Amino acid sequence: IIAVAVMADISCIIIPEGIEVEEPTLKKAAQEGIEILSTNKTAYEIACKAEKIL
């Protein structure tokens, strides 16, 4: 997911449903300056909130 975020110039990734991100992924994200956010909400709930904000 980090490689795709870098290619797409994305600065933040939101991980839904409390999914745990592996340590190597977190380290690579930090190296690339990409924030990883985690929530217990579903991807649908996140998308609905993002749509309201944007």
Quickly list DSSP for 16-36: -TTPPPPHHHHHHHHHHT-EE
| pLDDT single digits (tens) 8-50 | 999 999 999 999 999 999 999 999 999 999 999 999 999 999 9
Domain range summary for the chain, segments of one domain joined by +: 2-53
Is pTM beyond 0.75 here?
A: yes
